[in-house]
A and B are shown apart, each in its own frame.
Chain A
Amino acid sequence: MKPLIEIHNVSLRFGDYNVLRNISLDIMPHEMISLIGLNGSGKTTLLKLMLGVFEPDSGEILRHVRQVGYVPQKFEFDRTIPFSVSEILRVYNRVSDKEVEKKLKEVSAEMLIKKTIGDLSGGEMQRVLIANALLSRPDLLLLDEPTSGLDMAGEKDFYCMIEDIHKKYKIAIVMVSHDVYMVFNHAQKILCVDHGLVCHGHPEEVKKHKEFERLFGPHLIPFKHHLSHGDTD
Chain B
Amino acid sequence: MEILIDAFQYGFFIRAFVVGLALAVVYALLGNFVVLREEIVIGHTIANVVFLGVALSLLFSWNQSWVMVASAILGVFFILYLKKNSRFSQNSVLEMTAQIAIATGIVVLAQLTGYRNITGFLFGNILAISNSDVWLTSAVFLFNMVVLFLIRRPLTQLVINRDLAIAAGNKVERINFIFLVLLALTVAAGIKIIGVVLLGAFLVIPANTAKNLAKSFRQMVGFSVGISLLAVIIGLFFSYLFDTPSGAMIVLILGVILVLTNLFRKII
Instruction: State the A residues within 8 Å of B (CB).
Output: 48, 51-53, 67-70, 72, 75-78, 80-84, 87-88, 91-92, 116, 132-133, 136, 142
Contact = CB atoms under 8 A, between A and B. Distances in A.
Contacts of B38: 78
Contacts, number: 62
Contact of B167 (A68, A75, A81): A68
A51 B215 contact: no
A-B residue pairs, 8 tightest by C-beta: A70-B167, A82-B214, A83-B217, A91-B156, A68-B167, A84-B216, A87-B217, A72-B163
Interface in B204-240: 211, 214-220
B161 A81 contact: no
A82 B220 contact: yes
B74 interface: no
A30 to B, nearest CB: 20
A167 to B, nearest CB: 23
Nearest to B152: A91
B100 interface: no
A106 B126 CA distance: 58
Interface of B: 35-36, 38, 153, 156-157, 160-164, 166-169, 211, 214-220
A77 B160 contact: yes
Which of A84, A91, A116, A142 counts the most chain B CB atoms within 10 A?
A91
B161 A82 contact: no
Contacts of A91: 153, 156-157, 160
6 contacts: A67-B169, A68-B167, A72-B161, A78-B35, A87-B216, A116-B216
A140 B210 CA distance: 38
Which of B153, B162, B164 counts the most chain A CB atoms within 10 A?
B164
Given A78-B36, A92-B168, A83 B163 contact: no
A75 B161 contact: yes
Contacts of B211: 80-82
Contacts of B220: 81-82
B218 A87 contact: yes
B217 A92 contact: no
A59 to B, nearest CB: 20
Given A72-B161, A77-B160, A88-B160, 5 more contacts: A51-B167, A75-B161, A82-B217, A83-B216, A136-B168
A48 B218 CA distance: 31
A53 to B, nearest CB: 5
Contact of B160 (A48, A83, A142): A83
A99 to B, nearest CB: 16
Contacts of B214: 82
Contacts of B218: 87
Contacts of B161: 72, 75-77
B253 to A, nearest CB: 24
A51 B160 contact: no
Given A81-B211, A91-B156, A91-B157, A72 B216 contact: no
B85 to A, nearest CB: 13
B163 A70 contact: yes
Contacts of B168: 92, 136
Nearest to B160: A77
Contacts of A116: 215-216
Contacts of B162: 53
B163 A53 contact: yes
Given A91-B156, A92-B157, A82 B216 contact: yes
A133 B164 CA distance: 9
Given A91-B153, A91-B156, A92-B157, A82 B215 contact: yes
A205 B169 CA distance: 36
Nearest to B155: A91
Contacts of B163: 48, 51, 53, 70, 72
B166 A82 contact: no
Contacts of A70: 163-164, 166-167
